[in-house]
Amino acid sequence: CLDEEGKVHEFGSSWRTDNCNDCSCSRSGISCCTSYVTPVGYDKEKCESIFNKQTCSYKVVEKDDHSKECPVNSWVG
Give me the residue spans of the domains in the chain: 1-35, 38-71
Q: What are the counts of helices (DSSP H) followed by strands (DSSP E) for the chain?
A: 0, 7
Per-residue pLDDT, 4: 87
Percent of the chain scoring above 70 in pLDDT: 100
Determine contact, residues 54/42, Cβ cutoff 8 Å: no
Determine contact, residues 21/42, Cβ cutoff 8 Å: no
Mean pLDDT of 46-64: 97
CATH superfamily of this structure's domain 1-35: Complement Module, domain 1 (2.10.70.10)
Predicted TM-score of the model (pTM): 0.74
Determine contact, residues 60/49, Cβ cutoff 8 Å: yes
| Fold of the domain built from segment(s) 38-71 | N-terminal domain of TfIIb (2.20.25)
